[in-house]
Amino acid sequence: MSGNSGDVRVLGIEGTAWAASAAVYDAGADTVDIETEAYVPDSGGLHPREAAEHMSDALPAVIETALERAREMGEDRRPAIDAVAFSRGPGLGPCLRLVGTSARALAQRLDVPLVGVNHMVAHLEIGRHRSGFDAPVCLNASGANAHALAYQTGRYRVLGETMDTGVGNAIDKFTRHVGWSHPGGPKVEAAAEDGSYIDLPYVVKGMDFSFSGIMSAAKEAYDDGEAVEDICYSLQENIFAMLTEVSERALSLTGRDELVLGGGVGQNERLQGMLTEMCDHRGADFFAPEDRLLRDNAGMIAVLGAKMYAAGDTIAIEESTIDADFRPDEVAVTWRDPDSPPRRPATGTVQGAEATVHITDDEVVKRRLPRTYRHRNLDERLRRERTRQEARLTTEARRLGVPTPVIRDIDPDTSTITFQTVGHSDLRDALEASHVETLARHLATIHDAGFVHGDPTTRNVRVGDQIYLIDFGLGYYTQDPEDHAMDLHVLAQSLAGTSTRAEQLRETLEATYGDVGNEAVLASLAAIEGRGRYQ
């Protein structure tokens, strides 16, 4: 492992859902010793009451085992522990309360400080620690969660996330329908080895993704007699391609060239292979920790706990409440340089999230080259559909008076569009309140006409004598206020990931849209971000 937090030892306790786990991290030696007793239901998925009962039964034993190992490290058989770290959330409330109670009791027993750790940030930090990367984008792919994160001005910002259920839970819903026992992910991975590709839904909305449609389609395909091996193969191909595409979008948006993977679903070899291939194509570095540090474990809690302890980020016993909905972007990152890392500079030929763009003073040639990490059938369909949609909606927006580049040529056979060059910079490099006001008016105009941009990030807006919308490839026709609200949600996420004044600019966005747009869209935006599904 690279880096340490001094010669300290921290005992970590994890218990957000499945894993009753304790670990000792020796920062001086940079080693982690983990003891885990996992909950495995007799049938079906996770049962919160049974999971809590398992946690109550298993936690004392794994903690005592970790303490015994700490005694072996210390002098006179005394546990050489400098702090106790525990997972405060997100997770199942009954399980988290047991973890919190155990951690408080142990910290008092040992007379050491207590550190409260966000479980999802720990998934990110263990990858950053093991890889030695400075400022990676992180893809978290676990049972209850799926999101892309990057560090910006003192916090880890959510750049994209699931709009319904976590990736592991989505796969488990299908395997329960088939009648397979938990855990479902490894069974899908094994069955997929003998499968062939069939068409299933693929839903990426800007930087976000949705699994509900593909799960329903997979269940229907099974009920209609499709071979389960083909469904499993296609589930993996589509779901993991969605995660990989969003990861590439996050790299492109932030200008980073490092990606780490976290979460139990990250153990899947096909997902790791896709991410490796995508990063190789971009010239980026990719790292996945070993399996024991990908799945839920106390080792990652102890490692991040040591970093927080070294930064003085401890909590009093009376303030150590758990938070079942503890979002990663709510965590003040005290253990890192508060300055945001610089972006990798763009060149005349820019590798975007789904296309290679060659820019001159006069024209922009955008070519959607094959993404070899995706199945060929899926890749060909997406490149063809997105090229046609981009041309159609770019022209439609222009007819409505929204500035867009003039299309000079289209070659559907090579998924290539040639545009007039517009603007002198991306919005992310010219984030002024007046520009955001104009952009809000542009979005309200196209929404009123019955379609969405689909991906209005700060990379897909050009600033010049006017504010131009570009890259409508993920756009579509819709009158649904929630679909229109997704445009605002995607833009707000990209502001958080690229601006030091994200909150003020977001207020400008919503105020201006409220003046000129449909009030139902802002109500839908509040509903999207208040459902508690983004953990």
pLDDT tens digits for range 13-63: 999 988 999 999 999 999 999 999 988 876 666 778 888 899 999 999 999
User: From CA 164, how far away is CA 426, in angstroms rounded?
Assistant: 31
pLDDT tens digits for range 493-519: 999 988 889 999 999 999 999 999 999
Residue 2 has pLDDT above 50, yes or no: no
**451-452 vs 476-477, strand pairing mode:** antiparallel
Tell me, what's the pLDDT at 40? 80
Residue of 36, 32, 11 lying closest to 103 (CA atoms)? 11
Tell me, what's the pLDDT at 3? 44
User: From CA 387, how far away is CA 381, in angstroms rounded?
Assistant: 10
Four-CA torsion 429, 430, 432, 437, nearest 10 degrees: -100
- The structure tokens listed for 191 are 């069955």
Q: What percent of the chain has pLDDT over 70?
A: 95
Residue of 307, 215, 257 lying closest to 4 (CA atoms)? 307
What angle, 0 to 180 degrees and rounded to 10, lies between the N-to-C axes of helices 228-254 and 167-178? 170
- Superfamily covering domain 9-130+293-330: ATPase, nucleotide binding domain (3.30.420.40)
pLDDT tens digits for range 133-151: 999 999 999 988 899 999 9
Query: Across-strand partners of 367?
Result: 356, 416
Q: Report phi then psi at 38, rounded to 5.
A: -90, 145
Tell me, what's the pLDDT at 284? 96
Tell me, what's the pLDDT at 5? 62
Point out the least confidently predicted range of 142-156, 212-226, 366-380, 480-494: 142-156
Residue with tokens 């839970």: 169
Q: Report phi then psi at 452, rounded to 5.
A: -120, 155
pLDDT tens digits for range 359-402: 998 999 999 999 999 999 999 999 999 999 999 999 999 999 99
Which amino acid is it at 487? D
pLDDT band at 528 (very low <50, low <70, confident <90, very high): confident
Burial of 238 (0-12, 13-18, 19+ CB in 10 A): buried
Q: What percent of the chain has pLDDT over 90?
A: 81
Tell me, what's the pLDDT at 535? 43
Q: Calculate mean pLDDT across residues 255-276.
A: 96
User: From CA 306, how far away is CA 292, in angstroms rounded?
Assistant: 19
Tell me, what's the pLDDT at 1? 43
Q: Are 12 and 25 in contact (CB under 8 A)?
A: yes
3-state secondary structure of 366: strand
pLDDT tens digits for range 432-469: 999 999 999 999 999 999 999 999 999 999 999 999 99
Strands (E), 243-379: 258-262, 285-287, 349-351, 356-359, 363-367
Residue 424 has pLDDT above 60, yes or no: yes
Q: How big is the CA angle at 23 (ends 141 and 40), to the nearest 5 degrees?
A: 55
CATH of domain 133-291: 3.30.420.40
Burial of 103 (0-12, 13-18, 19+ CB in 10 A): buried
Tell me, what's the pLDDT at 352? 78
Helices (H), 146-283: 167-178, 185-192, 212-223, 228-254, 269-282
Tell me, what's the pLDDT at 534? 41
pLDDT tens digits for range 318-334: 889 999 999 999 999 99
- The structure tokens listed for 406 are 């003039």
User: From CA 99, how far away is CA 60, in angstroms rounded?
Assistant: 10
Where are the CATH 3.30.420.40 domain residues in the chain?
A: 9-130+293-330, 133-291
Which amino acid is it at 402? V
Residue 404 has pLDDT above 70, yes or no: yes
Where are the CATH 1.10.510.10 domain residues in the chain?
A: 349-528
Residue 108 has pLDDT above 60, yes or no: yes
pLDDT band at 114 (very low <50, low <70, confident <90, very high): very high
Tell me, what's the pLDDT at 161? 92
Those residues with Cβ within 8 angstroms of residue 67's Cβ, 6 or more apart along the chain or in another chain: 11, 79, 81
Q: Calculate mean pLDDT across residues 255-275.
A: 96
Residue 159: half-sphere exposure toward Cβ, Cα within 13 Å: 31
Residue of 505, 355, 377, 509 lying closest to 443 (CA atoms)? 509
Question: For residue 136, is the peptide bond before it cis, meaning its omega torsion is within 30 degrees of 0?
Answer: no
Residues with a catalytic annotation lie at 455
Residue of 43, 375, 38, 18 lying closest to 178 (CA atoms)? 43
User: From CA 271, how far away is CA 141, in angstroms rounded?
Assistant: 10
pLDDT tens digits for range 267-301: 999 999 999 999 999 999 999 999 999 999 999 99
CATH of domain 349-528: 1.10.510.10
User: From CA 512, how far away is CA 521, in angstroms rounded?
Assistant: 12
Residue positions counted in the chain: 535
Residue with tokens 């070519």: 367
Helices (H), 77-156: 93-110, 119-131
pLDDT tens digits for range 55-107: 999 999 999 999 998 888 766 556 689 999 999 999 999 999 999 999 999 99
| Choice between 235 and 344, residue whose per-residue pLDDT is larger | 235
Which amino acid is it at 102? S
Residue with tokens 């379609």: 451
User: From CA 221, how far away is CA 230, in angstroms rounded?
Assistant: 10
For every residue of 463-497, DSSP letters joined together read ESSSEEE---TT-EE---HHHHHHHHHHHHHHHHH
Query: Across-strand partners of 141?
Result: 146
